[in-house]
Structure 1
Amino acid sequence: MTFNIETERLLLREMRDEDLDGLFTLDSNPNVHKYLGNRPIKTKAEAQKVIDSVKQQYKERGIGRFTVVEKTTGNFVGWSGLRLNTEYNMNGFTTYYDIGYRLIEDYWGKGYATESGKAAAKYAFEVLNLKRLYATTHIDNQASHNALLKIGLHYLNDFYFPQEKMTLRWYKINNPKL
C-alpha cells in the first residue's frame, strides 16, 4: 500500500522500516509523552514494534498512521493521519476512525499538526469516503485542542478513560460532502 499526500510543506507517506530512528527520537522523548500516560519508549526495538503494528494495520484495515516528512529537508517530523480503532471503548465508541498526530518536539509550534491533520481529513473524506472522524486529546493538552479545532473538528465533551486513568476530550468532524 502506498500513500503519498503532499501539502505545502509536508509529505505524508506510508510508515517504513527506515523511519526507525525518527520514530525512536519521537517516542523516547518524555515531553512528547507528557499527555500520553508518561511512558516514553526506551529501545529501538519498541519503536520497530510501532512501525510493524502500523504496517499490519495497512494490510488488515486499509489505513494506518502516515509518516510526516518535511519537504525542504527530508527530515522525519513525526506521524499523522488515520487509524481504525477497534481496540478500545472510547467515550462509548468501539469501532471508529480516529485522526491524530504526534510530532518531534523540535517541530512543535510550526502548524505541522494542523497542516498534516487537514490533509489526512481530506484524504479520509475524498478518497476513503468516510462519513466522519473522531479524535481525542488529554484535557490539559491545549496545543492539541487548538490543532484539532483548526483541522475542523468540533469539541463534544470530556470523558474519563479508565484504561489510562485520565480525562480526555472528545471531538468529531463529519464529511462535508455527505
Structure 2
Amino acid sequence: MTHLIETARLYLRQLFLTDAHDMFEMDSNPKVHRFLGNKPVTSIEQSRSIIENILQQHQDYGVGRLAMILKSTDEFIGWSGLKYEREVRKELNYYDLGYRLKEEFWGKGYATESAIASLKYGFTSLKLKEINACAQSDHMVSNKILKKIGMIQDGTFIFDGNLCNWYKVFNQAL
C-alpha cells in the first residue's frame, strides 16, 4: 500500500530513505526546531538516521510517523501521524500524535488536516482506545491545533526544561 491515509489535499505514506533530503531541508531549519529543543540537524546522515528510526518503529509497533505529500504537486511537505512513544513521558507508554512541516507550508491547514486524518486512522484502522499529544505551553499554534481537532488538555509536565501541555482524546466508538 503506497498511501496509508488520504485527505482532500494530502497523502500520508511511509517514509523512505529517499526522503532524507526533504527531511534535512525541514529539520535543518532553526525555525522548525524552535519548540523542539532548538536542535536542528546538521547533516544528511542525521536525517537518514531519523528515517531509519521511524522505519524501525513501524516494524516494532506497527505504527510510526508518515511522510506528508501534497497531492497537487506530489511534493514532500513534512511528516505527520502516530507513534508509539516511550521517551517523552517515561512513566507512560502511549500513542502520540505529531506533525512537522517545512516552513513554507505553515499556516495552510495541513497540520490540522493530517492530524484529523491520523486520529481517524488510529481509532478506526488501529482500534486504539486513546491517543495523546503534547506541545510546549508557549507554542500557541500547536496548542491551538490540538484543541481544534478535539483533544483535551489534561495537565502539564516538564520535558527538556520546558513546560509542556499534555493532551488526550478517546475513541468515541468504544
Aligned to 1:136: 134
Contact preservation (8 Å) 2:154, 2:165: yes
Tell me the number of residue pairs that the alignment of Structure 1 and Structure 2 aligns: 174
Specify every segment of 5 or more residues in structure 2 that has no aligned partner in the other structure, as ranges: none
Provide the TM-score with structure 1 as the length reference: 0.94
Distance across 2 between alignment mates of 1:159 and 1:17: 34
For residue 101 of structure 1, the aligned residue among 81, 99, 102 is 99
Deviates more, 1:150-159 or 1:126-135: 150-159
Q: TM-score, normalised by structure 2?
A: 0.96
- 2:167 aligned partner: 171
Aligned-pair identity (%): 43
- Give how far 1:131 is off: 0.2
Q: Which residue of 2 aligns with 1:120?
A: 118
Question: Offset at 1:3?
Answer: 4.7
- The aligned runs of 1:1-178 (5 Å cut-off) are 3-89=3-89, 93-161=91-159, 164-178=160-174
- The CA RMSD measured in Å over matched residues stands at 1.2
Deviations 1:28-66 (A, max 9, x none): 000000011100000000000000000000111100001
Paired with 1:87 and 1:147, the residues of 2 have a C-alpha distance of 23
C-alpha distance in structure 2 between counterparts of 1:109 and 1:89, whole Å:
28
User: Hey, what's the Cα distance between the residues in 1 that align with 2:86 and 2:165?
Assistant: 19
Summarize deviations over 1:76-97 as a string: whole Å, max 9, x none: 110000000123435xx42000
In structure 1, list runs of 5 or more residues that go unmatched.
none
1:127 deviates by: 0.4
Distance 1:95 1:18 in 2: 30
Q: Segments of 4+ in structure 1 off by > 6 A?
A: none
Q: Which amino acid letter does the alignment assign opposite residue 44 of structure 2?
A: K
